[in-house]
Amino acid sequence: MQEPTFLILTALAAGPKHGYGVTQEVSEISEGTVTLRAGTLYGALDRLVEQELVTVDRQEVVDGRLRRYYRLTDAGAGKLAERARRLRKHAEVAESRLQARPNLALGFTADPFGACA
């Protein structure tokens, strides 16, 4: 599962959202490091609907435009939970191995040329 997909599912875990709401939530969750463009977002949402991980919750017309709200399905929640567990496990291993490095254990970080910061 790619990071944008993980973040979209995470955004929808709190409840139904329309596309712009998903985009804003993803930006907030990722602390601004992931910005979804409309084409990317709606392509991902269409794929997630097709995979039955997300469903259309409702539609409404706002200012003459159709606004579609998406909701995480139970299958989507299960996939998100599974991926979150795997990421947590991998992060724990990475942190453990990084702490075992002598230069990091002492609070130093080495640059690629061998100097310490």
Edge-to-edge, what's the strand order for the sheet holding 65-72?
A: 17-18, 65-72, 54-62
- pLDDT, position 117: 47
Domain count, the chain: 1
What token pair was written down for 39? 């084409």
What token pair was written down for 83? 């991926």
What's the CATH number where 91 sits? 1.10.10.10
Q: Is residue 7 part of a domain?
A: yes
- pLDDT, position 107: 58
Where the chain has pLDDT below 70, the residues are 103-117
* Residues 57, 16: Cα–Cα separation, whole Å: 7
Q: Is residue 111 part of a domain?
A: no
* Residues 21, 25: Cα–Cα separation, whole Å: 6
- Domain span including residue 55: 3-105
pLDDT per residue as tens digits for the range 35-60: 999 999 999 999 999 999 999 999 88
Q: Are 108 and 116 in contact (CB under 8 A)?
A: yes
